[in-house]
Chain A
Amino acid sequence: MNTHDAGSAGGPPAGQGAEYRVAHLQDRLASGELGELGVRAEVRGGTVLVTGTVPSARCREDVLSTVREELAGLEVHCDIVVSEPSSPDHAEELS
């Protein structure tokens, strides 16, 4: 659930330059118009793993679009979920 392959299928594995591109992606997500500091991108073996929780489906699409743009050509696995807005089903008893 909520996984999305944002990269082109069969794209080249993430290499040495990928680290800087990932850093630039994080910077753009945080400082750009998305203001998204809750999404994390990491180079994992030959792919870039993008994880986090965002407040809306639209926000998720915006993040994915930015990821596709910044990491074009890299193999990317996106695992971004949308916040759950339901009431809790129990309370915690604090002693």
Chain B
Amino acid sequence: MLEAQGLSFSIAGFSLLREIDLRVEPGKVTAIIGPNGAGKTSLLRLLTGEQRPTVGNIALSGQPLGGWSPTLLARVMAVLPQSSRLDFPFTAREVVMMGRIPHATGLVRDTAIVDAALAAVDGSYLDKRFYTHMSGGEKQRVQLARVLAQIWEPVADHARVLILDEPTSSFDLAHQQLTITNMRSFAAQGVGVLVVIHDLNMAARCADQLLVLSCGRIAACGSPQQVLTATTIKQVFNVDVSIGINPLTGTPLVIA
């Protein structure tokens, strides 16, 4: 379990995050929503150990994040940044194979995992294609396959964590659905999934727990039903909406 307590973060006197408490539970999908500039990506940077909080502490499986060896941490925590630039003509397979760099599982096992990860994002046909020749959505799928391959199987009973920053921003409808399926199936294996997402209805459908960030603070936290109310959305996004129920999934449906 990834747990953060009392996180505050400021850069050059600017306070970006204040008093954040957060638990990414194994087997659950936690989604962070909030307006632009609310501090979502900053929060992910702290949680992945890329930056240190000004105040507060973060622990993975009870051990402070800073106490993990980089390789061991990479074996159990995979992070998909918002956008990745790669200007070199690697094939999709080579990019996904990079997800196996922290592991020492051998080429045969790694190849099987890469095949499975590519298939999971509907990217098997991209296998030998060059990354530099792909469309935006295809690139994003290959990167997603790379982070899935990184934590494809458990390592010595350590809890695994999958962190995705807007994974569906350039996906079509089918691949958005597929990404939800992937997040749910990783969660079903006991992986703690944390995702930043802009589409409130997608967040409602994929998440067990929603965290609303506004101006660097937690504005609301709880199940989608608890959080996605007209009042909260008015308060945070300053938009009038009405809330219905998604007839297919039974989750809240935000109608703007």
> Do A and B interact with each other, yes or no?
no
Chain B interface (Cβ within 8 Å of chain A)? none
Chain A interface (Cβ within 8 Å of chain B)? none
